[in-house]
Amino acid sequence: MKKRKSPAIVAARAVILPMLIAGSGLVGCALAGGARAEELNKLQGHWVDVNGETTLDFDESRMTVTSPYDKETYKIKITGANPRYIENAKAKYDYDNGFGVIGTIWIGDDNVLTAREMITDADGHQYRFVRQEDLDNELEIQIKDRKFPKSIESDEIVSFNLVFSNENSTYDIPPEEPWYEGVYSIDVEKEDDGTYEMSLHGSGPSYIIVDYSGPVSDEYVKGLANLVKEQKIAEYNGWWRSNNEHFSSWYLNIEYASGEKILMEASGRAALECPFSFYEFLKYADKEAGYTKELQ
């Protein structure tokens, strides 16, 4: 029996929390231990956001956050059993541990500073702060291609998994069609009894676009294998591109009865380049899911 859930698109938008109070009247906080003082010393100077225009400037225990919309100075403290968190030392409110719309900042082992935007009901901006001199390396697209076979002899797919993020019709999906902004996954799996199950899922930050699962025929899976061939995907087996910007991403993994595999992925701005069509796979999955037909 097919299981189908009607698509529910909720017009939900991010609600940015109110800006926290200005830097005047800050309450100081002593740094406990030499480790915390050492971490603070490492932070001194100017930092830039890989994913935007916000900057951080550290001057002793003060941090100035400059964005295109605001500039704020805070007294900070370093916390955590292993001193890795930068928090606001102001004590006006119990929850007042953020910096404007930026949440607590984490000092990574690679000495990159990361944080999330303090918003509700959405993903929010991903902050990744590095030294100005490291910015070019962060933005550079790294080619990490694997040396995998470039041809597949088998015609029998036993597992197909495609996951991608569709942001502002990034790929070849027509913007007028109802494949809304969100993360999509298409899965086809051969069960122990030899039958196949297919699922199509899509969801945004606070809404479900499509959620379908049901059995598919051998002929349907053969058609999927033919679509993989038509797009010459095996020729790109091992494709792996990435950079450190927070952007779209996609992942494709196909396994065949012969043991042959296709594995491809990309993340960051590198994911904007894709050698196959997401739209063709969405349309093929929708033959079973009936998502667009239900909307007519």
The pLDDT value recorded for residue 155 is 93
**Strand (E) or helix (H) holding 163:** strand 157-166
- Measure CA 122 to chain center: 12
- Token reading at 135: 């910015």
Contact partners, residue 10, CB within 8 Å, separation at least 6: 206, 207
Q: Which residues pair with 188 in a beta bridge?
A: 160, 198
Contact partners, residue 197, CB within 8 Å, separation at least 6: 188, 189, 191, 213, 214, 215, 216
For the segment(s) 143-295, the CATH number from 2.60.40, 3.30.70, 3.30.1560, 1.10.1060 is 3.30.1560
Q: 212 by DSSP, 3-state: which? A: strand
CATH architecture designation of domain 15-135:
Beta Barrel (2.40)
Q: Distances from the Cα of 155 to the Cαs of 151, 239, 246, in angstroms? A: 11, 21, 36
- Token reading at 167: 């942001």
The pLDDT value recorded for residue 110 is 86
Domain with CATH 3.30.1560 in the chain: 143-295
pLDDT in tens, the chain (296 residues): 444 443 333 333 233 222 222 333 333 334 346 778 888 999 999 999 998 999 999 999 999 999 998 899 999 989 888 889 998 876 555 445 678 888 889 999 888 999 988 876 666 788 999 999 999 888 899 999 999 999 999 999 999 999 998 876 568 999 889 999 899 999 999 999 999 999 999 998 789 999 999 999 999 999 999 999 999 999 999 999 998 888 788 999 999 999 999 999 999 888 988 999 999 999 999 999 999 988 87
Domain with CATH 2.40.128 in the chain: 15-135
The pLDDT value recorded for residue 98 is 79
